[in-house]
Amino acid sequence: MRIQGLSKADSDTVTNANTCTINKVLRIASKSILHKAALIDHYVDQSNRCAPGTIGYSMAQDYLCHLLFASGDLRGMSIASIVETPQVALENDEPTEDILLHFYNALGWNGEDYLDPKRVRVSTETHHKIFKDMQERSDDEAGLGMFMVNFGPGVEEDLPPNLVVLLEGWVTPNGSES
């Protein structure tokens, strides 16, 4: 069985019960956030298919715990989707802060539902680009820094700059916080 999102060699390593170790799994997971996500999905699926108390169930749960705690800021969070980084631009008369509104709208936020910006993860490079774009339009660098801390997306260092990770609960329908 090939694990979606992994190369054949990595998938074979993970699915070979005779030679698979947690160190091998963590080494594969360290390649990128997409590898981590694929492995987390695999072990959630495996633990759901095995009866509690069996070796397969125990191994899946053990590996899943290792992966979640090895995932830094993503510990225990579920990924809703991974999308391409949208390109946003402002008209000259729009306020600087609207860069983030356009960014979140381009990701699928409707402007009415509750938005948790820390559940939107971007690369360090993308985060710096958003800040730089805002900085070029404003004289208040300290204020922009605080604005980004409160309303800007979170940073995931392993993420390529062309992708955005949307964690479960990044938007909550009907304006109620999760």
In 3-state terms, what secondary structure has residue 26? helix
pLDDT for the residue 77: 60
**Cα 138 to chain center, whole Å?**
29
Residue 173 neighbours by CB distance under 10 Å: 10
Which letter does DSSP use for residue 74 in this model? G
Residue 65 neighbours by CB distance under 10 Å: 13
pLDDT for the residue 158: 66
pLDDT for the residue 2: 84
pLDDT for the residue 8: 92
143 pLDDT higher than 80: no
As a whole number, mean pLDDT of residues 15-39 equals: 82
How many percent of the chain have pLDDT more than 90? 6
Nearest alpha-carbon partner for 64 in 54, 75, 53: 75
100 contacts 76 by C-beta, under 8 angstroms: no
Residue 34 — very low, low, confident or very high, per pLDDT cuts 50/70/90? confident
Write the pLDDT tens digit of every residue in 55-110: 887 787 677 656 755 555 555 566 667 777 888 877 777 777 788 888 899 999 99
Distances (CA, A) of 71 to 7, 68, 163: 20, 5, 17
Write the pLDDT tens digit of every residue in 147-173: 887 888 988 876 667 778 888 888 988
- Print the SS3 string covering 87-118: CCCCCCCCCCCHHHHHHHHHHCCCCCCEECHH
Distances (CA, A) of 106 to 99, 101, 155, 178: 11, 9, 18, 22
The pTM is what?
0.56
One-letter amino acid of 30:
S
Q: What is the dihedral of CA 32, 169, 154, 141, to 10 degrees?
A: 160
What the block records as the tokens of 51 is 């009866």
pLDDT for the residue 56: 82
- Distance separating alpha carbons of residues 170 and 84, to the nearest angstrom: 16
Q: Can you give the residue ranges of every domain in the chain? A: 8-74, 79-175
Nearest alpha-carbon partner for 76 in 141, 167, 142, 171: 167
Residue 52 — very low, low, confident or very high, per pLDDT cuts 50/70/90? confident
